[in-house]
Amino acid sequence: MIDLDHFKRLNDQHGHQAGDEVLVNVAHFLLRETRARDAVVRLGGDEFLVLLVGEQADSTAAIAARLREPEHIPSPVPISLGFAVRRPGETLGRTIQRADKRLFEVKARERKERRGSSLPMATA
């Protein structure tokens, strides 16, 4: 799960056309950073879902870290990211829920860190 940070502020300050351009740029960036067999889906607003086919926890974590690197961000809007690896017998919907929960935890931790305190790293 990927969320564009401060996207509403970008829309408010620069207009919806600029916001639309950022969304397109982020979609192109995600498509370039994934394989043809993976899926990149805009869920609505400023959230994207990336489904990595056949990846294990360690490789998923490495891909997530690479996507968060500042030089990869194709817009003035940084991203927050939460991921989960599908467990045996788990529905895709449940995996997505866990990734979304992790994204929420990451964003909450980042807000606290900006205020001068920190939370422990979220786990999936």
The pTM assigned to this predicted structure is 0.81
Q: Tell me: the pLDDT tens digits for 68-87?
A: 776 666 544 788 999 999 99
Asked, for residue 121, whether it belongs to a domain, the answer is no
Asked, for residue 60, whether it belongs to a domain, the answer is yes
Asked, for residue 19, whether it belongs to a domain, the answer is yes
DSSP symbols for 69-91: SGGG--SSS-EEE---PPPTT--
Asked, for residue 93, whether it belongs to a domain, the answer is yes
Mean pLDDT of 50-70: 86
Find out whether 10 and 76 touch, Cβ atoms under 8 Å. yes
What is the model's pLDDT at position 123? 44
In whole angstroms, give the CA distance from residue 49 to residue 36.
15
Q: How many domains does the chain have?
A: 1
Question: What are the backbone angles phi and psi of residue 37, rounded to the nearest 5°?
Answer: -80, -10
